[in-house]
Amino acid sequence: VKTLLKLSKKHTLVKKLLSQIKDLLKEVEKPVRIMEFCGGHTHSLLKYGLDVALSPEVEFFHGPGCPVCVLSLNRLELALKVAQEKDVIFTTYGDLLRIPNSEGISLLSLRAAGKDIRMLSNAMEALKIAKTNPSKLVVFFAIGFETTTPATAFLLEITKAEKIPNLKVISNHLLTPAILNYIFKKNGVYIDGIIGPGHVSAIIGAKAYEGVTAKFNLPMVISGFEPLDMLLALKLLVEKIFQRENGVFIAYTRAVTCEGNQKAKELMGRVFKVRKNFPWRGLGDIPFSGLALKEEYEAWDGERIFEIPDISEVSKGCLCGIILQGKAKPKECKLFGKLCTPGTPIGPCMVSSEGACLAYFKYKGSL
Ligand code: SF4
């Protein structure tokens, strides 16, 4: 709140938007329930104190938009298994390295024990590593929503064109409309509106969510991640909620269009196909929610070489699976701030830089 107050002193627009939202909300009898899909939005809300500034008129429910948090345990075990194989260089994006399995083993601890595990800042680095290490098998463990999928698709197209044999990709790419559809179908609609993902929508376009908003009769406003972006999106969303208008609306117009990035969508379509089912952490198998490599890319498909471990989810008191559905808040977890802290994380929501538990710990304190 202090940050937001500081901002509103400096920026008249922040002050104006905040008071406009407050005005809209002054007649409400019970809190307006808003889900922010992205972990990035959760962090912005808490960092700038938007949640407190709009309380008690608005209650925020944190959504599943943290790709590292939703990686299932059997996929995590697959990563750990592959990283320990002889003559393998294991590559992936940063956050995944710190996620522990149920025995506390992480890619980071394996790296400390001498395994060749490398953190990438972009997918194409995996190709460079493969070319400079022809005697090794380089595995790119690809994670992320539609934001990072085009980069993996591009990597695969170039790898195929250059006929590089020693690079394999294990795809854990996920589809965001499918998870929203699943959550509301399973739990019923317990919110009034959604703050939609900004970066994902820049790729797939706002239209991609129209099926969900029509089916569950909800408004969604696509938002950027700065506090002003979020205030603008919240104002529009509250208006749409009161007008009882469902549909997808764009507040993040400098990055998002209705159709999205056509080239990126075509690229994804050439390389990936939708899986019938894909496991999500704490949620189980979700139909049509993940992407696999098409047959034309089977020579580079890591899933054809490495068997996926068949392990069931063990929670040991971690509520991540429930938090990711917006059905519990981090502080409801008995381990929060006690056994589970950023220094001693138990679940992915405390590890990932986009995780809701980390956001609460950083911005709301440990108790
Ligand atoms: Fe899981 Fe830790 Fe969050 Fe609890 S506080 S839900 S154990 S990540």
**pLDDT value for 8:** 63
Q: Which of 68, 101, 319 to mutate to test the pocket of ligand 1 (most atoms within 8 A of CB)?
A: 319
CATH of range 73-174+260-304; options 3.40.50.720, 3.40.50.11740, 3.40.50.300, 3.40.50.970: 3.40.50.11740
**Mapping DSSP to helix (H, G, I), strand (E, B) and coil, where does residue 233 land?**
helix
Q: pLDDT value at position 317?
A: 87
CA angle, 50 as apex, 327 and 179 as ends, to 5°?
A: 35
The string of DSSP codes covering 8-67 is HHH-HHHHHHHHHHHHHHTT-SS-EEEEEEEHHHHHHHHHTTHHHHTTTTEEEEEEEE-T
Rounded distance from Cα 167 to ligand 1 centre (Å): 35
Give the span between the Cα atoms of 325 and 222, in whole angstroms.
Answer: 19
pLDDT of residue 367: 56
Strands 58-65 and 32-38: parallel
Just give the CATH number of 2-61+193-250: 3.40.50.11750
For ligand 1, atom 3: residue with the closest CA: 357
89 membership: H or E segment, kind and range: strand 88-93
Same fold, 2-61+193-250 and 73-174+260-304: yes
Which segments of the chain have a pLDDT < 50? 1
Å from CA of 61 to ligand 1 middle: 16
Which residue has its alpha carbon closest to ligand 1 atom 8? 347
Relative to the CA of 347, which ligand 1 atom is closest? 8
Q: State if residue 324 touches ligand 1 by the CB under 6 angstroms criterion.
A: no
Pocket-testing residue among 68, 98, 313, 323, ligand 1, by greatest number of atoms within 8 A of Cβ: 323
Domain residue ranges in the chain:
2-61+193-250, 73-174+260-304, 320-349
Strands 137-144 and 88-93: parallel
68 Cβ closer than 6 Å to some ligand 1 atom: no
For 239, the token pair is 């208006």
Nearest by Cα to 142 from 164, 120, 172, 97: 172
**CA–CA distance, 237 with 215 (Å, rounded to integer):** 18
Nearest by Cα to 276 from 267, 266, 264, 286: 286
153 lines ligand 1 (CB under 6 A): no
Q: What is the full DSSP assignment across 239-301?
A: HHHHTT--EEEES-TTT--SS--HHHHHHHHHHEEE-SEEEETTTEEEET-BEEE-GGGGGGB
pLDDT number for residue 332? 94
Q: How far is the CA of 159 from the centre of ligand 1 (A)?
A: 39
Cis amide prior to 309 (ω within 30 degrees)? no
- pLDDT of amino acid 104: 87
CA distance readout (Å), 220 to 59, 108, 180, 206 = 16, 38, 11, 9
| 178 closest CA partner among 260, 75, 64, 80 | 64
Query: Do 66 and 37 touch, CB atoms closer than 8 A?
Result: no
Q: Is the CB of 350 under 6 A from ligand 1?
A: yes
Q: How many Cβ atoms from other residues are within 10 Å of residue 104's Cβ?
A: 10
Query: Nearest 5°: CA angle at 79, between 73 and 84?
Result: 130
pLDDT of residue 50: 94
Regarding an ipTM greater than 0.90, the answer is: yes
Ligand 1: distance of its center to the CA of 355 in Å? Answer: 10
What's CA 199's distance to the chain center, in Å?
Answer: 10
Q: Which of 45, 26, 62 is nearest to 329 (CA)?
A: 62
Question: Residue 5 has what pLDDT?
Answer: 58
